[in-house]
Structure 1
Amino acid sequence: MKKENKKQSSEQLSSFGGVGGGFLVVLGGGESGVGTALLGKAKGYNVFVSDKGKIKEKYKQVLIHNAIEWEDEKHSESEILKADIVMKSPGIPDKAPLVKQIRKHKIPVISEIEFASKFTKATIVGITGSNGKTTTATLTQHILKQQLNVGLAGNIGDSFAKQVLEDDFKNYVLEISSFQLDDIIDFKPKIAVITNITPDHLDRYDYQFENYIASKFRIAINQTKDDYLIYDADDKAIANHLKNNPVQSTLLPFSLTKTIENGAYLDQQNIIITIDNNQIIMPTTKLALEGKHNIKNAMAASTVAHLLKIRKQTIRESLENFQGVEHRLEQVLKINKVQYINDSKATNVNATYYALESMDAPTVWIVGGTDKGNNYEELFQFVNEKVKAIICLGVDNEKLMRTFGNMVDNIIETQFMSEAVKIAYKIAEAGDNVLLSPACASFDLFENYEDRGRQFKNAVRNL
């Protein structure tokens, strides 16, 4: 958002301080939309929810029960353009004709994160990144909740707005996507985390990686020197952006390769975290989560915990007993000495890179879905070393077949999860892994990555 827009929008948002009283239009009747509608109504707004698709029955019932006006399978433009403020679901792109119309009418468009943050005085930890943000957010909350009153929201679980209304935790850990950050104005987390930045969702950013990087850095745009930015110092995209676009925040980098004075680094098998000369040491040998990427996730989460004065012993114990996230390198079952692993949340190449890197046995790899302009080159080394067969699961597998066809003896395509798992069962031998790590979005064959992961787990259990 350009600076002049920000000024104009902030003026129009001045009613936010307490009870609203304006006309709030919510575009999208999903988790964040319905949460915003409930909070908006409680704060005195006249609320209208509009969804171009079909609103799920459970959300319809909530809207009806709370006497909130709604429509689905259409947008009544004349009604929407009367809004004082519009909360847009993160799934709706800025390029949508209706959003362009709303902006043309100089009506502020904000995200749920922006709206809900106006109604809480909680300490906010905001976590973004291309990969690892769900694991890092869940792990951070897992550590903090041992000593603090803390909610987990954003891109995960119950909506932030709903939690502000019903629970009003003293602290929040928010997993925040670039789409949510695109529509903030004043939102400012006390602690921001950027796990990493690799090309993703470029179709939403005019296929310009720089635009996507800038979007991620919006998490720190309103921070001051009293706030903190924790980030991966090994990530070239982050390091370059920071060099050319300095932020106001106090910087706390983490690294696997460099020695960090203020922040976190790896010294042999220990994570060393130093903040204002106060140091803690965490052995990595007992981490519940495996893989180099999870050492980084642990560094980020532990740095947050250290900042918020969580006891060292509590941090150590929490890192050791954390169970991990569903659909992220989730070990499903071992059948005939073959381990089946659900990594459905790997919706881009970089996430699959981490999955393949962590494989320690010959692997039958299930890949495919809606390609977001993927470049698979960084996977070649692992495919050559570790992958014995590839099962392409998607409507259009032509690019995958062409890219990997000469690398493995066995490459098969299917459009059914049950068939993909049966094929994998036939190919895999004792000691092998069967890995679902799609590197693609799920929308060609599935409702979302959760649906894809659940179908995989069900198919494995039905073998």
Structure 2
Amino acid sequence: MKESNIANRNSEIKHRLVILGAGESGVGTAILGIQKNYEVFVSDFGKIKETYKQVLIHHEIEWEEKGHSEEKILSADVVMKSPGIPDTASIIVKLKANNVKVVSEIEFASQYTDATIIGITGSNGKTTTATLTYELLKQGGLHVALGGNIGKSFAQQIAETKYDYSVLELSSFQLDGIETFKPHIAVLTNLSPDHLDRYEYEYSKYIASKFRIVMNQTEDDYFIYDGDDVEIQKWLSENTIRSQKLPFSLVNKVEKGAYIENEQIHIITDNTTHTMPIATLGLQGKHNTKNAMAASTVATLLKIRKATIRESLEHFQGVEHRLEKVLKINNVMYINDSKATNVNATFYALDSMSTPTVWIVGGVDKGNNYAELLPLVNEKVKAIICLGIDNSKITQAFGNVVDMMVETQSMEQAIQVAYRIAEKGDSVLLSPACASFDLFESYEDRGRQFKEAVRHL
């Protein structure tokens, strides 16, 4: 770009946007910020991935890595903080002390779209529910995007394409940084203790964070939630929300929402009643039935045809790294559930196992309480392979429950051990119940390494 063009562009700039963290959400926000005539500066305390660096260079966006230039950051009108940065980070504390507005990518980006937003959060099932909802709407002919905590960043999608609908998977960290963000349809899949290390080990603070998804909704909006979840019910009994409630339940009949009767899912909204058999769902298991009920309720609200919903549910095969069957070797099934980053997700995984299981577990503990897994481990797990830098909590929790426990420090080592231990008819399950950042870049990296190591056996 010529210098005169840069000068001309800069003369139109009204506000200074500083972005902390140059990952998917940070770089996407930088692209949208430039498009909306912000003066943009990107700062990452760590090293920026080469692919993201090239995007910043291509868009002529100023950036730095391996540290923060405080003066440049504190001069911001608004700061977009990447989800991984805690509020306790010293630079965030200084920004707030200086009354600089700090928001999430979701908050920043949502002001630049007219799309109908479907926001999906929860401790577990949100990726599957968001992906399934996206498929239902896409198959129903809507011009829809899938983003947020999954795939391409919400901000970049807005910068590049005008969508009519956006399905967003939202983490508690993303919701912590919203002020005006308002989904037309909000979904809360369930609640279980997660990320407690970020919430001062207070479950109530984590729950409050999840419920931020409904805080700006009005009577014209919808809240779809697990009506069987005790913590959700408790919060709703103690707090008022304005949106229309549509619970889904496996055990109770509901006036509006979704419920099960005679092995059929019934979905009831203002103007529509749908039924479909559970037996034909592409994904089996109670938790997946709930995911299907939530996604189908969204699709019904948005007037997707019943036949389209049914066909999409029958053909949907799940998401990568979630109970993904990789290979069967010597009649041993290897299953990748790397996305299970908390105890509750691993509970679902172990509960679904019907063969003796060699369980690969461990990583960065987020304040886990393993007690609820003990009955399942006792019943189903023949050996535990610990995969993490510090496995002391896992050893303490299960050392007396299984006959064999092995500590490993790499995925290749873990798979070699599993291969030696597993016998015909067994399963090898990677379901870590922990974050991945001690030995891997992400849960995706962990899952890919698992699949690669299995294929090399």
Q: Distance in 1 between matches of 2:54 and 2:440?
A: 25
Aligned mate of 2:88, from 95, 98, 118:
95
Q: Distance in 2 between matches of 1:107 and 1:42?
A: 22
Aligned mate of 2:304, from 302, 310, 314:
310
Cα RMSD for the two superposed structures: 1.0
Match of 1:290 in 2: 284
Q: Distance in 2 between matches of 1:59 and 1:394?
A: 28
Q: TM-score if structure 2 supplies the norm length?
A: 0.96
Match of 1:279 in 2: 273
Match of 1:158 in 2: 152
Q: Distance in 1 between matches of 2:374 and 2:50?
A: 44
Aligned mate of 2:443, from 432, 444, 449:
449
Task: Give the counterpart letter for 2:432 in structure 1.
Answer: P
CA contact (8 A) 2:338 2:446 kept: yes
Match of 2:29 in 1: 36
CA contact (8 A) 1:364 1:388 kept: yes
Deviation at 1:283, TM superposition (A): 0.9
Deviation string, structure 1 residues 64-108 (Cα, Å, up to 9, x no partner): 111111111111111111111111101111111110111111111
Q: Distance in 1 between matches of 2:340 and 2:369?
A: 15
Aligned mate of 1:411, from 405, 413, 417:
405
Asked if residue 65 in structure 1 is aligned to residue 63 in structure 2, the reply is no
Match of 1:329 in 2: 323
Task: Give the counterpart letter for 1:435 in structure 2.
Answer: L
Match of 2:416 in 1: 422
Deviation string, structure 1 residues 357-381 (Cα, Å, up to 9, x no partner): 1111111111111111211111111
Match of 1:4 in 2: none
Deviation string, structure 1 residues 215-241 (Cα, Å, up to 9, x no partner): 000000000010000000111111100
What SS does structure 1 have at the residue aligned with 2:279?
Answer: coil
Q: Which moved more, 1:351-360 or 1:392-401?
A: 392-401
Where do 4+ consecutive residues of structure 1 move more than 4 Å? Answer: none
Aligned mate of 1:26, from 2, 9, 19:
19
CA contact (8 A) 2:272 2:300 kept: no
Match of 1:129 in 2: 122
Deviation string, structure 1 residues 173-196 (Cα, Å, up to 9, x no partner): 000000000010100000000001
Deviation at 1:51, TM superposition (A): 0.7
Match of 2:211 in 1: 217
CA contact (8 A) 1:116 1:164 kept: yes
Deviation string, structure 1 residues 144-169 (Cα, Å, up to 9, x no partner): 00110000000011100000010121
Q: Distance in 2 between matches of 1:69 and 1:394?
A: 37
Task: Give the counterpart letter for 1:89 in structure 2.
Answer: S
Task: Give the counterpart letter for 1:443 in structure 2.
Answer: F
Asked if residue 52 in structure 1 is aligned to residue 45 in structure 2, the reply is yes
Match of 2:7 in 1: none
Aligned mate of 2:197, from 186, 200, 203:
203
Deviation string, structure 1 residues 251-299 (Cα, Å, up to 9, x no partner): 0000111111100011132111111252101111111112110000000
Asked if residue 85 in structure 1 is aligned to residue 88 in structure 2, the reply is no
Match of 2:336 in 1: 342
Task: Give the counterpart letter for 1:296 in structure 2.
Answer: K
Match of 2:354 in 1: 360
Deviation at 1:20, TM superposition (A): 7.1
Q: Distance in 2 between matches of 1:129 and 1:238?
A: 10
Match of 2:134 in 1: 141
Task: Give the counterpart letter for 1:72 in structure 2.
Answer: E
Task: Give the counterpart letter for 2:15 in structure 1.
Answer: G
- Identical residues among aligned pairs (%): 67
Q: Distance in 2 between matches of 1:131 and 1:45?
A: 36
Task: Give the counterpart letter for 1:185 in structure 2.
Answer: E
Task: Give the counterpart letter for 1:387 in structure 2.
Answer: V
Deviation string, structure 1 residues 42-66 (Cα, Å, up to 9, x no partner): 1111111111111111111111111
Match of 1:377 in 2: 371
* Residues 107 and 213 (structure 1), Cα distance of their counterparts in 2 relative to 1, 3 Å cut: same
What SS does structure 2 have at the residue aligned with 1:234?
Answer: coil
CA contact (8 A) 2:358 2:384 kept: yes
Deviation string, structure 1 residues 332-365 (Cα, Å, up to 9, x no partner): 0011111100000101000000000111111111
Task: Give the counterpart letter for 2:254 in structure 1.
Answer: I
What SS does structure 2 have at the residue aligned with 1:434?
Answer: strand
